[in-house]
Copies of this chain bind each other. A is one copy, B any other.
Amino acid sequence: MDSLQPQHTNRQYEEELRAVRADLLKMGGLVEHQIAEAMVALVNRDEPKARETIARDTEVNRMDVEIDERCVQLLALHQPAASDLRFITTGLKITTDLERIGDNAVNICERALELNEEPQLKPYLDLPRMAEVAQSMLKDSLDAFVRDDAALAEEVIERDDEVDQLNYQMYRELLSYMAEDPKTIGRATRLLFISKYLERIADHATNIAEMVVFMVKGRTIRHMDKKKHE
């Protein structure tokens, strides 16, 4: 408000920064919704919902490009320093993870549509559980980001183990289905892929959380002791 203050504290700048924060949360919410809808489409064998969810991915992609553009504009016009600069550059990287999570939700829908061509192989219990954990990880990683909350981010990173375990269980289980009855192979491999999409969604949330810890603590926990049960 005082024109003698440095440019990066002026009102317009603060508003633009808030807008980026709000947009990232909005994109996160949309992507979370995409995961939930993909799982409903799978579990209820709901073809129209699968197609709607696939179509809605264009919105995720649009937000990705828009937020990146806003971040670059913020950097260009206001030359933010210190913590704001870390926030914006982290935001630029987070959009990539959110967009890829959206792609994985699309992939779940595509496999769900293929699975609908045959009777259901088995009741789905582990997959919705994996999706639930992955969604909570995504939500908390973004909350940690906008609140500068390294402790919450670290907690998200720990939760990745449960998803990896569930993915491994699914792999063992589906392998025995296939071994017992080769007629299940087509369906089992599709479920195997869905399990991996969910595991990858949790990996993206973990990546976001790692970047948040790095942003807040300014030290590198990124890439230490990274699990890869793929």
Contact = CB atoms under 8 A, between A and B. Distances in A.
A76 interface: yes
Contacts of A110: 228, 230
Question: How many copies of this chain does one complex carry?
Answer: 2
Interface stretch (A78-86, A125-133, A143-151): A78-86
A193 B175 CA distance: 14
Given A107-B228, A185-B179, A75 B65 contact: no
A72 interface: yes
Given A72-B86, A228-B107, A65 B179 contact: no
Contacts of A207: 96
Contact of A96 (B71, B96, B106, B228): B96
A116 interface: no
A99 to B, nearest CB: 7
B96 A65 contact: no
Contacts of A186: 175
A175 B192 CA distance: 13
